[in-house]
Amino acid sequence: MGSAQTVVVFGAYGHTGRFVVAELRNRGFVPVLSGRDADKLGALAASHPGLETRPAAADDPASLDRALAGAAAVINCAGPFEATAAPVIEAALRAGIPYVDVAAEIEVNADTFAHFTDRARAAGTVIVPAMAFYGGLGDLLVTAAMGDWTAADEAHIAYGLNNWHPTAGTRTTGKVARQRRNGRRVRYTNGQLEYRDDAPPTLKWAFPDPMGVRAVIGEFTMADVVTVPSHLSIPEVRTYMTVEAARDVSAPETPAPTTVDERGRSTQTFLVDVVVRSGDEERRAVARGQDIYAVTAPLVVEAVHRVLTGQTRTVGVASAGEIFDAPDFLRALSPHISLELRQ
């Protein structure tokens, strides 16, 4: 449990931020609600009586320092992370507290490793980027599937989503990423990111039953191509997305998620199928659950819990699979995710 420790949630009133605030409270932490819009913070606080609000902006370091004062950790849920990740990390370093974010932006996560690894290690603190459905979960699954392997030839992460109704934040971060790449797409091959102007391939992927064989967009590249290679010797990391979900998230007319249960989740379901290959051998990990935005909350809150209770393997900037015991972490998510390991 959180033992009433204070955790600042920057971007608390966003779609994912609201799930994170609720999960922190469920785990015994005391969330501090932070973000740029004081009115939205006040409205959120009205539904969580007793919680403190601390308005802050990424371009106002003094306000970030006030927001993080006295906190045990900070969770950054405010996209686009192109604008917020570095300033909030800087504030966390000044405050001497751990930083965790839910960024799915590939280049932003790569920048976090490149720019803050040495400083965070020297400070003896922890920075965990992409601790979310994209980036964090895939990395944990690949790491768990590897088992006793120290290297592999390929890692494939196939996302079987029945639909993908994007939030406003997802649309904004996607637009920012496309602008940064000048409209190009990205993949991870031969141990590095590669930018391409051609269209990604459409392939068939044999998901476990009952989903079965489905059409997927190949090289539908997500943050896993940063988190996995950051600590595992795998030169080829590929991610895939079911065609229906890829169409949903790119179509301007697709509506935002709609709540269907008491936990605020949508009807969206997911199956993440991970295959790791070394020579002729193959190992697999499968995770199933509901609502990729909602499931990010237990992922990031479990990470904060483990950081604050010393259940970590390193300091500095580290992905989920490197800093945590991946199989144990995944088992801790059993109320939210069903897990199957095939080794």
Amino acid of residue 63: S
Q: What is the pLDDT of residues 322-343, one digit of tens each?
A: 999 999 999 999 999 999 998 7
Query: CB under 8 Å to 219, separation ≥6 — which residues?
Result: 185, 187, 200, 201, 238, 239, 240
Position 205 pLDDT exceeds 90:
yes
Residues of the chain with CATH 3.40.50.720: 6-131+296-327
Domain at 133-291+335-342: CATH code: 3.30.360.10
Residue 30 binned pLDDT confidence (cut-offs 50, 70, 90) = very high
221/295 Cα distance (integer angstroms): 20
Domain(s) labelled CATH 3.30.360.10 in the chain stretch across 133-291+335-342
Q: What is the pLDDT of residues 217-226, one digit of tens each?
A: 999 999 999 9
Residues 137-167 have pLDDT tens digits of: 999 999 999 999 999 999 999 999 999 999 9
* Average pLDDT of the segment spanning 229-249: 98
Domain 6-131+296-327: CATH superfamily is: NAD(P)-binding Rossmann-like Domain (3.40.50.720)
Give alpha helix (H) positions in the chain. 15-26, 38-46, 61-68, 81-95, 106-123, 138-146, 168-180, 224-227, 243-250, 292-308, 320-323, 326-332
